[in-house]
Amino acid sequence: MDLVVALFVLGISWITILILAGRIQSSQRRLPPGPFSFPIFGALFSLQHPLHHYFAKISKKYGPIVYLKIGMVPYVVVNNNEMAVQVLKVHDLEFASRPAEEFFRIVSHNWNDLILAPISDKWKRMRKICSTHLFSNSMLNASSGFRESEMKNTVKTIFQQSGTTINLQEVFGKLLSNSLCLVLFSERRPEVVDLIRNITSLSLQLNIGALLPALDGLDLHGVYKKLNKELIPRLKLLLEDQIDKHRRRKDEAGDRFIPGDFTDVLISLNDKDNLSNLSILALLSDMVIAGMQTSLVTLEWTMAELINHPRVMSKAQDEIDSVVGRARVVHESDLPSLPYIEAIFKESLRLHPAAPLGVPHMNPKPVKLGGYTIPSGCKVLVNIWAIGRDPARWSDPEAFQPERFLGSSISPNGQNLDFLPFSSGRRVCVGYPLAMRSIPFFMASLLQAFDWSPANPGGIDMEERSRSMTMKLKADLLVNASMRLECQNIL
């Protein structure tokens, strides 16, 4: 009888230990809180657009780390500075991967690019090439003539439309397309920009496979077929033609060859840094994908804010007049002497980051984050928009106040995680030095040349487009412009 009692007690004790161990293990592996997920559909039907607004709103209920499933795909969204530091600094390497999606594989030319490719020695070499050879001060100085010539053409175009309603999105689209292609190829190639815009727009189309990965291989909506059979082959032909043309020009010049654009630089790398044609092609694609649309929406939002805040516009024009005057046009080299222009640009980036949720990160292994366990294979999003408007970090965060950046050392280079328009860590946007030059220069040129007013007396509509990869204005940016410069300065 004593043996039975002893075995009973031992059994109860063992069960108790297993239960406690299970609870401890469960607490150690507990998921972050988030909205209820239905079988198969997850939290799909509770989503609201724009997504960065929705994630910021539900973080007030669930906290700065939110876990949810969209379809069958697990997501983790971080919504404040402290958690962004954990993802992008403390656990940078663990979250530095990208989701291994078929769409990403195709667009990255089979993982040969920089934005979407996994971290590897080749990826590190490509990143170093970009930092050292493409976005260095010397190369940016050398390419400034392309941007200045296109800006002068744009001022002429706007001058010719004076007295009529101007759609600035159309004007900016041409300016940015031409200036970017000149920097890349030394010639305007709008068909390349249009083709890449068509490719990236497919990511917004309904794709059941993106929600239910088990069905992804069926390509139920024909997205991958269109990419593989039509769009990517056309893009490769265009870019391969450019690369071959640049190589022939280099061979003909021999020792007299001097790189004049980014493609020239990439084909001229020495043996240690030499890249294949496919890697060069993928890198050029990245630059159009990352540089075109983000620059376009940033310039749109900046001008929209300025037109809606005439005091700020007038103050910026006064600065330009005092430093540059009206006897000549603004040059990129004037930017260090225009701190208020830089402050306006930073304030616009804070309020309107072009990619408000960035590019998704992914953790191949489970990671501890904020007391929770992030399961392997999650899509991890950093809510850059919410961080830039956090009242715990920014005074009067919803207001457009460029003065907050005057005399401030806060930079969008990824070092300060209150301000992440270009992300941070290993995946920080390598092209941000170009953006820091080009957009403030375009803005300063537009302010020097014209006085601006909204075509609608009610002002510019600042509502966002609800479904977009980038943070776009919902309505067209319709404005009036009157000349400030004398005609001979632009003609």
Range of the domain at 356: 33-489
Residue 148 has pLDDT above 90, yes or no: yes
351 inside domain: yes
7 inside domain: no
Q: Output the pLDDT for position 6.
A: 38
3 inside domain: no
241 inside domain: yes
Q: Output the pLDDT for position 488.
A: 61
Q: Which tens digit of pLDDT belongs to each residue from 402-455? A: 999 999 989 998 889 999 999 999 999 999 999 999 999 999 999 999 999 999
What is residue 26's three-state secondary structure? helix
Residue 24 has pLDDT above 60, yes or no: no
Q: What sign does the dihedral 357-358-361-367 (CA atoms) show?
A: negative
Residue 12 has pLDDT above 50, yes or no: no
Least reliable range by pLDDT among 62-66, 210-214, 332-336, 464-468: 464-468
Contact 355, 471 (CB under 8 A): yes
Residue 453: strand pairing partners:
480
Q: How far apart are CA 290 and CA 373, in angstroms?
A: 32
DSSP 90-119: ITTGGGBB----HHHHHHTTTT-SSSSSPS
What is residue 125's three-state secondary structure? helix
Residue 265 has pLDDT above 90, yes or no: yes
H/E stretch holding 121 reads helix 121-129
Per the listing, tokens 């033609």 go with 241
Residue 308 has pLDDT above 90, yes or no: yes
14 inside domain: no
Q: Output the pLDDT for position 489.
A: 64
154 inside domain: yes
Q: Output the pLDDT for position 27.
A: 41
Residue 88 has pLDDT above 50, yes or no: yes
Q: How far apart are CA 321 and CA 150, in angstroms?
A: 22
Q: How far apart are CA 447 and CA 300, in angstroms?
A: 13
Q: Which tens digit of pLDDT belongs to each residue from 91-112? A: 999 999 999 999 999 999 999 9
For residue 166, what is the domain's CATH number? 1.10.630.10
Residue 252 has pLDDT above 90, yes or no: yes
20 inside domain: no
437 inside domain: yes
- Whole-number average pLDDT of the chain: 91
In this prediction, residue 3 has a pLDDT band, given cuts at 50, 70 and 90, of very low
* pLDDT (average), residues 193-222: 89
Q: Find the distance separating the first CA and the last CA of the chain, reported in whole Å.
A: 109
**What is the number of structural domains in the chain?**
1
The predicted model scores a pTM of 0.91
Q: Report phi then psi at 264, rounded to 5.
A: -55, -45
Least reliable range by pLDDT among 59-63, 268-272, 484-488: 484-488
Contact 480, 327 (CB under 8 A): no
Find all residues with CB under 8 Å of 272, minimum gap 6, and list them. none
* pLDDT (average), residues 151-176: 95
In this prediction, residue 2 has a pLDDT band, given cuts at 50, 70 and 90, of very low
Residue 282 has pLDDT above 90, yes or no: yes
In this prediction, residue 4 has a pLDDT band, given cuts at 50, 70 and 90, of very low
Share of the chain above pLDDT 90, in %: 84
How many other CB atoms are there within 10 angstroms of residue 335's CB atom? 18
List the one residue out of 287, 190, 186, 197 whose CA is nearest residue 242: 186
Buried b or exposed e, range 259-283, using 16+ CB within 10 angstroms: bbbbbbbbbbeeeeeebeebbbbbb
Q: How far apart are CA 88 and CA 382, in angstroms?
A: 9
Residue 242 has pLDDT above 90, yes or no: yes
Q: How far apart are CA 61 and CA 225, in angstroms?
A: 41
Q: Which tens digit of pLDDT belongs to each residue from 26-71? A: 344 599 999 999 999 999 999 999 999 999 999 999 999 999 999 9
How many other CB atoms are there within 10 angstroms of residue 319's CB atom? 19
